[in-house]
Amino acid sequence: MSRNQRKSLSGELVRSAIQHSFIKLNPRVMFRNPIMFVVEVGMIITFLLCIWPNAFGGESSRAFNIVTTIILFLTVLFANFAEALAEGRGKAQADSLKQTKKDVAARKLQSDGTVKNVPATDLRKGDIVIVDAGEMIPGDGEVISGLASVDESAITGESAPVIKEAGGDFSSVTGGTRVVSDSIKIRITTDPGESFLDRMISLVEGAKRQKTPNEIALNTVLISLTLIFLLVVVTLPVLSKYVHVSLEVPILIALLVCLIPTTIGGLLSAIGIAGMDRVTQFNVLAMSGKAVEAAGDINTIILDKTGTITFGNRMASDFVPVNGVSIADLAGWAALSSMADETPEGRSVLEYMKKQNLVYNAELAQGSQFIEFKAETRMSGTDLRDGRQVRKGAVDSVKKWVLANGGNVPSDLGSKSDEIARVGGTPLAVAVDNQIYGLIYLKDTVKPGMRERFEQLRAMGIKTIMCTGDNPLTAATIAKEAGVDDFIAESKPEDKIAVIRREQAEGKLVAMTGDGTNDAPALAQADVGLAMNTGTIAAKEAANMVDLDSNPTKIIEVVSIGKQLLMTRGALTTFSIANDIAKYFAIIPAMFMVAIPQMEALNIMRLGSPTSAILSALVFNAIIIPLLIPLAMKGVAYKPMSSSALLRRNLFVYGLGGVIVPFIGIKLIDLIVNLWV
């Protein structure tokens, strides 16, 4: 499911979409799209007129009727193709997921303690199974005993196995993944047909996608416009009699098709399906289209500090010497104590020295003995070949060790370690034998690029709030460094819910990321809850989105995709409605010019004849749909800016463009059609 694994618009996908375009011509299927259903009904009427030109009492041209029928048929077919193509991408993804969902045997633990082999489909919620290395996990569940490395590449697309263990936030496992090493005992948490993979398959299949509230509202507006224009066209023959103009049924159908918003009507479903598809491209599973749309309207984002804004590991950020020691001497001994230290803190000491261009004598460590960190001593270090002992660790522990070796504690050690602690850092003392050289300032480091990402959100008009269990001073330091708008220190689960409710009470939409059971209430309360796939079942059930890569910062991409979906729909709606202006100037003069010569003034495009004008407008109305399919699938490019700036750009590009392009297109088509007519 990674982006590299996803299928592009292959020939097979296009062929399948063409096939389904014809299948969708079934009136029962077309009725779900009222606008295109009206076009199909018009096509059927003109087709009947091809056989019986005088069926409705008129004297319509059989040749005109045939051409009109073909154009209307292509209009419906192009609209079906747009939807089928969007659905096809989802179905292709679903097919690959179904390969993962195979009938596997499960080793179910019986009540008497024995193990019985049963099909995975027989497992029910609450059953306990044992899965060893090399075996497939038979269903969604939680690890209740053991620790194992699990290959989740079938779900996430990432090849690196992840560690799953009982308890904590990494106990959730997904059916269809494989245990790589060790053995775990799992409690099944879903019944057949309700698993994460089952929901994933049904959600990525566009045909099963439910329309979102905004989409339903827009559809209602478009249907209303269609009904209004239908009434206008139906009453037009009666009114035209007063000016002694006889309007044939095919011309009235052509007028209706050009007046109703066929462009957006044909692309609306494809836009929604493609929006969901774009979310899955980022390995995010949206439980509904409503969640994607809501992401586009988000005003506030609640983010955890640890693991989201910061790395979650304490890293060296400074050397603080004591008692007149030079930074070079302190850094040298700190490096020697960390050369064999594979903890994140130990590696960060050497990385910080490289950044600061500090050097040390690595030869001193040759043949030395590394002293691992122990909870009892709270220190680690190195015993050198020459007998010297180097230690780093908690300040109190190092002080006791130095005093036990007959040394003294520097007078400024306490004040400098307290200063580091006050700003939220962790001081590690560095000593050699009976002398303390200074302190390593460790702090939870903000991830690179976070400040820029928060600036992007600010440009979108989105407020960021950091939640952390740290003390206010530490929280303020991290918040300032990361560039968030606000923070909540010493945060508890109920505090997160309180801030979400406070923002919602002000009429704002709120998004939140989380992975633990304690995050579940807040994820459920938020308008957009993004749970991590590595998180608990409770968190994933409460959220309306799941990030398969378990990257908490991906909420920023989700917001961008949501905004892109709303922009694409708005842009193409604007373009579609603006198109009608040119069609009015093409068809209406053509209908009345003979009886009302003054209507020639409206023929500003100087179209060749009434017949070519009507056909040109119909042809443009048909071909604009497939021309806009790539834009509907890819989405309008989104750049962070204010709502007013977005509206101006939308009106200028798609409003003005929607007026100009049809004038040019219809005129060019008329030049070709007029030669034939």
Q: Is 527 annotated as a binding residue?
A: no
128 in Cβ contact with 112 (< 8 Å): no
Long-range pairs for 232-241: beta carbons < 8 A, 24 or more residues apart:
232/259, 233/259, 240/591, 240/592
Spatial distance between the Cα atoms of 535 and 58, rounded to a whole number of angstroms: 70
Q: Is 318 annotated as a binding residue?
A: no
CA 595 vs CA 211, 242, 311, 391, 589: distances in Å: 46, 11, 77, 103, 10
Beta bridge partners of 530: 513, 545
For the chain, the distance separating the N- and C-terminal CA atoms, rounded to the nearest angstrom, is 52
Q: Is 81 annotated as a binding residue?
A: no
Spatial distance between the Cα atoms of 422 and 425, rounded to a whole number of angstroms: 7
3-state secondary structure string, 151-201? ECHHHHCCCCCEEEECCCCCCEECCCCEEEECEEEEEECCCCCCCHHHHHH
Q: Is 341 annotated as a binding residue?
A: yes
Q: Is 519 annotated as a binding residue?
A: yes
User: 304 an active-site residue?
Assistant: yes
Q: Is 79 annotated as a binding residue?
A: no
Tokens of 124: 């029910």
**In 59-115, alpha helices (H):** 62-100
Tokens of 235: 């009453």
CA angle 650, 576, 646 (to 5 degrees): 10
Q: Which residue has the tokens 């600036």?
A: 455
Q: Is 375 annotated as a binding residue?
A: yes
Spatial distance between the Cα atoms of 28 and 148, rounded to a whole number of angstroms: 51
Tokens of 506: 């002000």
One of 304, 470, 547, 670 is an active-site residue; which one? 304
Beta bridge partners of 546: 285, 531
Q: Is 355 annotated as a binding residue?
A: no
Q: Which residue has the tokens 């009886």?
A: 595
Spatial distance between the Cα atoms of 543 and 520, rounded to a whole number of angstroms: 7
Radius of gyration, CA atoms only, the chain:
34
Q: Is 374 annotated as a binding residue?
A: yes
Q: Is 515 annotated as a binding residue?
A: yes
Could you list the residues known to form a binding site for ATP, using ranges.
341, 345, 373-380, 392
Q: Which positions are annotated as active-site residues?
A: 304
Could you list the residues known to form a binding site, using ranges.
341, 345, 373-380, 392, 515, 519
